[in-house]
Amino acid sequence: MALQLRVYVPPHPLIKHWLGVARDAATPSVLFRSAMTELGRWLTYEAIRDWLPVVETSIETPLGSSAATFINPEIPVAIVPILRAGLALLEGSQALLPLASVYHIGFVRNEETLEPSCYLNKFPESFNAQTRILVSEPMLATGGTMLSAMAELTQRGIDPALVRIISVVAAPQALQKLAEAYPALTIYTATIDEGLNDQGFIVPGLGDAGDRTFGT
């Protein structure tokens, strides 16, 4: 059977609540950051359910033996925030994955062509092929940034099937491109919006996630 991109919009009241706060144009930066941290936490909680590697063992309770399941410390887990806006979800993700390595990558879109360019890449030359990667990219607009980040990951040995993307607002254009290029991917997003305006912004979206996070 051919692989097909999986996109989940978790029906969680806290995700809906913090999405509403983040979307509201009247929300100031300080509250926008809190909303993004909370979205990072709950989207990560949903995304790692069937992804975080575990190991089965047994332990002794004060009363006897019991089977036990622990997080497998031997399989590397990493978070990849796409700067700048991806940093806004990081604190929430790290609260649930305190031992994960964090590999930063920075992209900026050209405002006219909408082409992304990479200005920072802290990836190692190659990743252990078993590495689980949680990508933090709040805005999937044209999808150009996410496609470029995936190319950087896969050329260093990452299996797209082991990648989970957390996003706040996804546009159909980005999902279409990702489905064609990386059908094994899985995405968790707070919403799928209508589309893009002439400037490449998601509508209704939440505006410029990087600017709203950092007050620029």
Ligand X SMILES: O=P(O)(O)OC[C@H]1O[C@H](OP(=O)(O)OP(=O)(O)O)[C@H](O)[C@@H]1O
Ligand Y SMILES: O=c1cc[nH]c(=O)[nH]1
Binding site for ligand X (CB under 6 A): 82-85, 107-109, 114, 116, 137, 139-146, 174, 200, 208-210
Task: Report which residue's Cβ sits closest to ligand X.
Answer: 210
Classify the C-alpha dihedral 89-107-164-194 as positive or negative: positive
* Site size for Mg ion (CB under 5 A): 2
Provide, rounded to whole angstroms, the least separation between the CB of residue 22 and ligand X: 13
Nearer to ligand Y by Cβ, of 22 and 139: the residue is 139
How far is 168 from 154, CA to CA, in rounded Å?
A: 23
Minimal distance in Å, beta carbon 101 to ligand Y? 26
Question: Residue 83, interface with Mg ion (CB under 5 A)?
Answer: no
- Which residues inside 187-216 make contact with Mg ion, applying CB under 5 A? 208, 210
Q: What residues contact 9, with CB distance under 8 A and at least 6 apart?
A: 188, 189, 190, 191, 192
DSSP track, 37-60: HHHHHHHHHHHTTTTS-EEEEEEE
Q: How far apart are CA 105 and CA 120, in angstroms?
A: 5
- Residue number of the CB closest to Mg ion reads 210
Pick the closer one to ligand Y by CB: 26 or 63: 26
Give, as one character, the DSSP assignment of residue 208: -
Closest CB 48 distance from ligand X, rounded Å: 22
- Which residues here bind ligand Y, judged by CB under 6 A? 85, 139, 141, 201-202, 205, 208-210
Give yes or no for a contact between 142 and 177, defined as CB atoms under 8 angstroms apart.
yes
CB of 52 to ligand Y, least distance (A): 28
